[in-house]
Structure 1
Amino acid sequence: MFTKKAILTFLKAQVAAFLGGIADYGLMIVLTEAFKLHFAFSILVSGTVGAIINFSINRFWVFKNQSGYSIPINSQLLKFGLVVLGSISLKSFGTLFLQNAFQIDYRIGRVITDLFVSYGFNYPLIKYWVFRINEKQSVIESN
């Protein structure tokens, strides 16, 4: 059963992902086309910038605790960093695979890869691992 709060959180997370994704994708195009970097390296750089934007929006808007209690940022940054490493790796290899195996332009391959990585990897890990409030924290909040 989906609650109103769960749907709102999902939609807000999609806004965060979209804004980070636009920065990521746009920078990838600029680095690849204007600076002639290989797209796999461009994805590494642009993915890092997009991740910083995404993390900031998620931490301070999407998964912000309404009572003001905040999970320590160091723990979230470490977990988020691991998710980003996995995400960037999947995006780079997925885009490269689609280009080499099917001759799909890297820009289109990246969009296809992003859809799978965003919904099947990033969102579940960000929601249920990076910004998850454990039961001990929930008790503190309810008091």
Structure 2
Amino acid sequence: MADRIEEKSRFAGWRREAWLFMKAQLSAQIATVIDFLITILLVKLFGIYYLYATFIGSVIGGIVNCVINYEWVFKAEDCKKIHVGLKYFIVWGGSILINTWGTFALTEWLARMKWVNGLLGYYVYDVFILSKITVALLVAFFWNYYLQRFFVYRNHNLKRFLKQRLEHK
């Protein structure tokens, strides 16, 4: 009997984590759609260099993601907004740098590949969309979710958290 209760409890925990991950991914997708729309509009309609447009899209998408995550995904009402904001800014800054640099590096690499040139011609503005999608997915899964889940939306005392991390090294 105790084994069945423990098994149900384990399944419920797994289900809760899976639901949280799905909500976080939905939030990220909403922010990503906004990010991509802004980026593509800035490049295609206004002729802004794709790297600047990527940065601007990432900033606006990040703001949208933070608000949705705070209110709906992680329900961080018990966390001080200033602490969430500071922690999000740290993680978000890293995300913007990785997204921007990653998009640039992958775009430049793909643009120099002969098979890509054969498919698309040397038209960086089309290649950057493929690069942006690839980098955005990698950053979403391996950077944003874990840092937001275990750092940003947890009620950590930031000074104590950093002090503990620095002392353990």
TM interval, short-chain normalised: 0.7 to 0.9
Instruction: Name 1:107's counterpart in structure 2.
Output: 129
Partners in 2 of 1:88 and 1:36 — Cα distance?
21
Give the greater-gyration-radius structure (CA): 2
| 1:32-77 deviation per Cα after TM superposition (whole angstroms, max 9, x unaligned) | 1111111111111111111111011100001115xxx520010111
1:96 maps onto 2:109 in alignment: no
The one-letter code sitting in structure 2 at the alignment partner of 1:5 is R
- TM-score w.r.t. structure 1 length? 0.86
Please give the secondary structure, in 1, of the residue aligned with 2:51.
helix
Superposition RMSD in Å: 1.7
Residue 133 of structure 1: CA displacement? 3.8
The one-letter code sitting in structure 2 at the alignment partner of 1:11 is M
Equivalent of residue 39 in structure 2, options 28, 36, 61: 28
Equivalent of residue 55 in structure 1, options 53, 61, 66: 66
- TM-score w.r.t. structure 2 length? 0.73
Structure 1: runs of 5+ lacking an equivalent:
135-143
The one-letter code sitting in structure 1 at the alignment partner of 2:63 is I
Instruction: Name 1:12's counterpart in structure 2.
Output: 23
Moved over 3 A (4+): none
Structure 2: runs of 5+ lacking an equivalent:
1-9, 117-126, 157-169
1:124 maps onto 2:135 in alignment: no
Partners in 2 of 1:32 and 1:116 — Cα distance?
23
**Identical counterparts, % of pairs:** 26
Instruction: Give the length in aligned residue pairs.
Output: 132
